[in-house]
Amino acid sequence: MEYLPSLSKAYLMDWLLKSEQYWLRLYVRTLRKEEYYTFHQPNKLLKYFYQRRKNILGRKLGFFIASGNFDLGLKIYHYGSIIIHPDAKIGKNCTIHGNCCIGSKGTFPDEAPIIGDNVDIGQGAQVLGGITIANGVKIGAGAIVVKSVTELNVTVVGIPGRVIEVKDKGGTL
């Protein structure tokens, strides 16, 4: 999802039609403003204003994302339940599709995942427990990942999630 220039035709059409992309961009922008006034330029009034606005939008869209979970470049492609554990740490340029859960296993101690940069999390995927996901990993739709993935740039699919070998026209990726 790209940010469109404010006065571009596409931006104005999204704003007029209140398209799905408009609401997703508004949510991410509001999340980033809350983070800015929480961590970079502390201002309690603006922090709570944007936190409340984010939470209202989150209820409409089905999102629960705490401030500080994501590094730069978050892309959300669909509405749907997206639940992120407040202690989860996700790197740069993460892509999330709808109906995803990044959380704990529900056991004591309550541990959250640590996810690297450039990770793509497919529709309906779940990443559970105090595990680590390496940079460049693609998590397939519906996969449930409960063990750490330490290999770079691999694809994880299935229940429970396992690394598969992806063949390209030129050989193995």
CATH of the domain at 93: 2.160.10.10
Question: Does the pLDDT of residue 99 top 80, yes or no?
Answer: yes
**Residues 26 and 11 placed together within one structural domain of the fold:** yes
> How far, in Å, CA of 107 to CA of 130, rounded?
10
Helices (H), ranges, the chain: 9-17, 20-35, 44-61
Question: Of 70-74, 131-135, 169-173, which gets the smallest average pLDDT?
Answer: 169-173
Question: Does the pLDDT of residue 63 top 90, yes or no?
Answer: yes
Q: Is the pTM value of this prediction over 0.75?
A: yes
Question: Does the pLDDT of residue 167 top 70, yes or no?
Answer: no
Which range of residues forms the domain containing residue 55? 1-61
Say which residues have a Cβ less than 8 Å from residue 43's Cβ, sequence separation at least 6.
37
**Residues 94 and 114 placed together within one structural domain of the fold:** yes
pLDDT at 79: 86
Nearest 10 degrees: Cα torsion 152, 117, 144, 101: 180
pLDDT at 8: 86
As a whole number, the mean pLDDT across the chain is: 91
Mean pLDDT confidence for 51-57: 96
**Residues 69 and 132 placed together within one structural domain of the fold:** yes
Question: Coil, strand, or helix at residue 149?
Answer: strand
Mean pLDDT confidence for 22-38: 94
Question: Of 5-14, 82-91, 111-120, which gets the smallest average pLDDT?
Answer: 5-14
Determine how many CB atoms are found less than 10 A away from the CB of residue 69.
Answer: 20
Q: What type of residue sits at position 109?
A: P
**Residues 99 and 164 placed together within one structural domain of the fold:** yes
Q: How many domains does the chain have?
A: 2
Mean pLDDT confidence for 87-106: 94
**Taking every pair of C-alpha atoms in the chain, what is the biggest distance, in angstroms?**
56
Question: Does the pLDDT of residue 172 top 60, yes or no?
Answer: no
**Residues 47 and 77 placed together within one structural domain of the fold:** no
**Residues 57 and 67 placed together within one structural domain of the fold:** no
Q: Of residues 4 and 48, which shows the higher confidence score?
A: 48
* Interior/surface letters 75-106, b for 16+ CB within 10 angstroms, e for the rest: ebeebbebebbebbbbbebbbbbbbbbbbbee
For residue 80 the two structure tokens come to: 């749907």
pLDDT at 64: 95
Q: What band does 107 get if pLDDT is binned at 50, 70 and 90?
A: confident
**Residues 89 and 44 placed together within one structural domain of the fold:** no
pLDDT at 2: 60
**Residues 111 and 167 placed together within one structural domain of the fold:** yes
Q: Of residues 32 and 109, which shows the higher confidence score?
A: 32
